[in-house]
Structure formats: C-alpha cells, structure tokens
A and B are shown apart, each in its own frame.
Chain A
Amino acid sequence: MICSDSNDRFVQVLSADLTPVRRLAPPAWRLLIWLAIVGLAALALAMVSDVRSMIHRLMAAPDLWLAAAGSLLTAVSAAAAAFQLSLPDRKAVWALLPIPPALLWIGASGIGCLRPWFVAGTSPMSIGDSDSCLVFILGFSLPLSLLLIVMLRRGFSLRPNLTAVVGGLACASAAATLLNFVHPYDATASDLAVHAVAVGIVMLANTLFGGRILMSKISLSD
C-alpha cells in the first residue's frame, strides 16, 4: 500500500512538472471547423457534378430529400456528440443525440426502397452501381475519420470506444450525404443494404482503430 505521504510527494512532482497549457476550444467551435472541412469537400463535389439535377431529383420525392436531410442531420449531431464525448465531464447520454436523425435517415431510405415497386418511371440502381456507392462512402469516410480522430484526440475522452463509434457514424453519414452529388438513382433495398454495410464498416473501423488511438491518450501504462 502506498501511504498518504507519497500522495504529498506525488503532488510536488506533478506541480514541478507544470507548464502553461492552452485551453481546449469549445466543442461547438471544433464542430464548426470539422463541418467547414466537410463543406469544402461538398463544394468540390458540387463543382464537378450536376447540382441542379440533384436538387430536382431530391425535390421530386419527399423520401429522397428526407433521407438526405436525415443523413446530414445525423452527421452534424453525431459529430457534435463525439466532440462532447471527447471531454471528461460530459455524460454518455450524448451518444444518443444522433439516433433520431439516424432513424429519419433509415426510415426515409426504407420508404424510398418501396417506391420502385409502385411508381412507374423510376430508375433504380444495379448491384454494380452499389459497389461504387460503397467505394465512395469508404473513400470519403477515411480522410474525414482521420481528421475527426486527430481533433478528438486533442480532448481527453474517458469513453474512447463510444466516442470513436459515434465519430465513425458522423463520418459515414457525412460521406453518405456527399454521395447525393453523384448518386442519380432512386433508392432500392440493395442500395440501402450497401449504404448500411458501408456505414457499419466505417463505424467498426473507427471503433477498432480510432478507439485505440483515443485509448492510448488516457492509458496510464505508458
């Protein structure tokens, strides 16, 4: 057992090691920075895609713009939750914040899957096109995840795995939102399944790798 005298000595050692620190920026400010970078990616995609046709397509069916709004809100709320969770004194309940928009996203996409069965003239995508969706979501999620993990690591999350999984949801849903720029199809069940698989892969990869990176920050073993 370590006696209390050693606590005093320990305090002295820590105090001797003290250097001034720059206070961490508020989570809302860090969120805005991340969203601004996602916005830049959206701007780049808008420059190389047909934005007018995308808006026309989304406005043509309420489920499509509801799904797009759901994925966008999921990205924003999940990123907000991840930045909150990166601070020691924030409750785990923040992880529930992206659930309502995620339900809207899943629900609207699910309803969209039914439309090709009832409405003539729709253009559902093939399995081959779904593969490109998978590559797009994974490809955009990777840099967004790296950026988010670096930003989250500046905090001090006491729940690293939960923070990483919520961060993964933010990146995957942001990538799925960006996909609308290059996705001139109506939703199908296979499309929805591919999106779900892509989001699942991104969240799993974030938990495995991002969680470890965040864990290494709070580990006392080094």
Chain B
Amino acid sequence: MIAAQAGDRIAYETLLRDCIPFIKLVVRRQGVHHDTIDDVVQETLITVHRARRTYDPGRSFTAWLRAIAQRRAIDALRSGGRRKSREVFAPLAYENHSDPSDGPEEAAFQIEHTALLNAAVDKLSAPQREAVEHLALRYQTLAQAAEATGRSAGSLRVNWHRALKSLRAQLLGKN
C-alpha cells in the first residue's frame, strides 16, 4: 500500500487482487447474501481507492481494510433491507399480470385498424400511393423521396396532399 500511495500501479494491482479473498471473508461474515458479495467487494475496492491517502503505514493495513469492508457490508445489508420493505417478491402475480397495452381487444382493434388503412391506401392512385409509402411509411424527406422515385419534390407534395384528402374521405366516410 505504501508503494501504491507513491503511484506504483503494479504493486497496487497486486495488492487489490490479494485483498479480494479477505474482503469476501469479511463481507460473508457480516451476513451479506452470496448473490451480492461481488457487488460489495467492488464497492469496498472503490472505497479503498478513494481512501488510500488515509492509510497510515505505522498501523495495520488489515484493520484498515476490514473496517472499510465491514462498513460497505453494513451499507449493503441496510439498502437490501430497505428494498425488501418496499418491494414484494410475488412471481405468480408477476406472471399473471396482464399487459394493458397489448391485450387481445387492443390487438384485434389494431389489426382491424391496420387492415382498413391498408385497404384505403390500396385504393389510391399509383403516384399518390408512392408518395404515402415514401413520406409516411418510410419517413423519408421530400428530397430523399424525390431521389428515390425520380419525381420532382413539387409533384410528390401535390400527390401527398391529394392522398391525404382521399384517405381522410375514405376513412371518415367508413367511420
């Protein structure tokens, strides 16, 4: 650690690697669940990194490391306890929960709606359908659509507005 305080990266890397089994031991003894031990190990390593200037070479490194690991373990236990008090583990309720945005009624309505729209688009003239496909369905700009179709931007715009008028008449008429 003395070398690490002086900036020796190799010594620091070796030290941190050697610390991991000891940190795991301390954390496990504090009662941290095995699923979260590696999380607490990493939090302890971050704390060691941030607090490295406070290590006094005249004192025990193990005691210094143990104090930090114990504190991070206690933090993990507390945050785990808070999470448990707010959350409920109910796998059956989760599985049975219906998704309101994608229910069978909405799905059927969506299919019907799409079929109506497709039928209305099919009834458009070829230039109008082309304008709708490029500008609305492919989200192209007028310039991109003009390049893709070989038509002028003005022609596309005219056909786009006519297509909208025609679709509006068809769909509103049906409704």
Contact = CB atoms under 8 A, between A and B. Distances in A.
A15 B16 contact: yes
Q: Which 10 A-B pairs have the closest CB atoms?
A: A20-B7, A156-B51, A15-B13, A21-B53, A89-B64, A2-B38, A158-B71, A11-B16, A89-B67, A156-B54
A14 B46 contact: yes
A174 B4 CA distance: 38
B50 interface: yes
B49 A14 contact: yes
Interface in B1-54: 4-10, 12-13, 16-17, 20, 35-36, 38-39, 41-43, 45-47, 49-54
A3 B38 contact: yes
8 contacts: A7-B38, A15-B10, A20-B7, A23-B56, A24-B53, A26-B56, A87-B54, A156-B51
B35 A158 contact: no
A41 interface: no
Interface string A1-30: 111101110111011111111111010000
Contacts of B55: 23
A190 B60 CA distance: 49
Interface in A135-152: none
A21 B5 contact: yes
Given A1-B38, A2-B39, A15-B13, A88 B51 contact: yes
Interface residues of B, number: 38
Interface in A165-194: none
A7 B41 contact: yes
Given A21-B52, A24-B54, A88-B54, A15 B9 contact: yes
B4 A89 contact: no
A88 B5 contact: no
Given A17-B49, A220-B46, A158 B9 contact: no
In terms of DSSP, what is the predominant structure of the interface of chain B? helix
A8 B17 contact: yes
A23 B53 contact: yes
A110 interface: no
B46 A88 contact: no
A14 B45 contact: yes
B12 A89 contact: no
A4 B53 CA distance: 27
Nearest to B37: A1
Among A2, A19, A26: residue with most chain B CB under 10 A: A2
B25 to A, nearest CB: 14
B68 A7 contact: no
B82 interface: no
Interface string A196-222: 000000000000000000000010100
A170 B146 CA distance: 78
B69 to A, nearest CB: 10
B47 to A, nearest CB: 7
A107 interface: no
A222 to B, nearest CB: 11
B12 to A, nearest CB: 5
Nearest to A19: B7
B148 interface: no
Nearest to B17: A11
Contacts of A16: 9
Nearest to A22: B53
A220 B47 contact: yes
Contacts of B51: 88, 156
B138 interface: no
Given A7-B38, A14-B46, 11 more contacts: A3-B38, A6-B38, A6-B42, A11-B17, A12-B13, A14-B16, A22-B53, A89-B60, A89-B67, A155-B54, A156-B50
